[in-house]
């Protein structure tokens, strides 16, 4: 991918590689094993929805390179439970696959990614037990460029921006071709709070209706 190739030889990319190598040499445990899995499962040309997260889960056997997703067999994190609950509330049963198909074996969201839902954290690695430990080390330059590349494309796309961190990326989405949906973060700390509670936001039905109107087809959530 040209975008990735350009990043790895850029000053932020070189600095990031040096930082990660130094942390590994110091014995740090870094998650996930596949930081770029979101791009592997969801090529930019096929993106229909972008969901922006912050950084990967920092516990063992959790993060797997997709925002909000955890490896199969893991307990659902509280934010993901709220996401699934909102999907059940928001959509008719025919459009809901996540809770029935995914929850029994954990919150692995690969089925979303394969349908064109880019599950993009803004920072793509983290150290065990240390949330935010790889923030501002270079990943943001790459993920901002990914968001902008999708926004600059001709394909109508839905951007779901939950919480202040994700909503800070709205400035990268300048085109009127796209639908931008904002709400509080689905964390239990904010999911029900004003001004835009996540619970009851209706983003999943709104996204599907908009995608269908623009000839891109609904997502099976």
Count of C-beta atoms within a 10 Å radius of residue 41 = 22
Per-residue pLDDT 10s for the chain (221 aa) are 899 999 999 999 999 999 999 999 999 999 999 999 999 999 999 999 999 999 999 999 999 999 999 998 889 999 999 999 999 999 987 666 655 454 444 699 999 999 999 999 999 999 999 999 999 999 999 999 999 999 999 999 999 999 999 999 999 998 789 999 999 999 999 999 999 999 999 999 999 999 999 999 999 99
158 contacts 210 by C-beta, under 8 angstroms: yes
Q: Which residue from 75, 1, 93 is spatially nearest to 38, judged by alpha carbons?
A: 1
Whether residue 134 contacts residue 126, with contact meaning beta carbons closer than 8 Å, is answered with yes
Which is catalytic among the residues 55, 90, 144, 154? 55
Global pTM?
0.94
152 is catalytic: no
Decide: helix, strand or coil at residue 175.
Answer: coil
Sheet strands (E) in 33-187: 49-53, 117-121, 126-127, 158-162, 179-183
Tell me what pLDDT residue 158 has.
98
Q: Positive or negative, the Cα torsion across 9, 157, 46, 201?
A: positive
Straight-line distance from the first to the last Cα atom of the chain, in angstroms, rounded to the nearest whole number: 28
Q: In the block, which residue shows the tokens 């990967």?
A: 56
Size of the chain, expressed as the number of residues it contains: 221
Q: Tokens at residue 138, please?
A: 């270079």
């Amino acid at each position: 991918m040209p975008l990735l190739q350009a990043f790895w030889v850029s000053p932020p990319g070189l600095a990031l590689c040096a930082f990660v190598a130094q942390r590994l040499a110091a014995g740090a445990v870094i998650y996930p094993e596949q930081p770029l899995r979101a791009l592997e499962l969801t090529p930019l040309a096929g993106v229909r929805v972008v969901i922006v997260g912050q950084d990967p889960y920092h516990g063992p056997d959790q993060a797997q390179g997709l925002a909000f997703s955890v490896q199969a067999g893991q307990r659902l994190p509280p934010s993901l439970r709220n996401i699934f609950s909102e999907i059940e509330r928001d959509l008719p049963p025919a459009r809901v696959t996540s809770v029935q198909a995914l929850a029994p074996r954990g919150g692995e969201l690969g089925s979303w990614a394969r349908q064109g839902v880019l599950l993009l954290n803004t920072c793509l690695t983290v150290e065990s037990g240390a949330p935010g430990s790889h923030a501002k080390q270079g990943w943001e330059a790459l993920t901002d460029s990914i968001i902008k590349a999708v926004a600059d494309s001709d394909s109508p796309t839905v951007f779901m921006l939950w919480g202040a961190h994700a909503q800070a990326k709205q400035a990268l989405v300048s085109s009127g071709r796209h639908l931008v949906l904002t709400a509080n973060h689905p964390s239990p700390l904010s999911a029900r709070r004003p001004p835009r509670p996540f619970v009851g936001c209706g983003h999943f039905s709104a996204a599907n209706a908009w995608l269908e109107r623009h000839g891109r087809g609904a997502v099976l959530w």
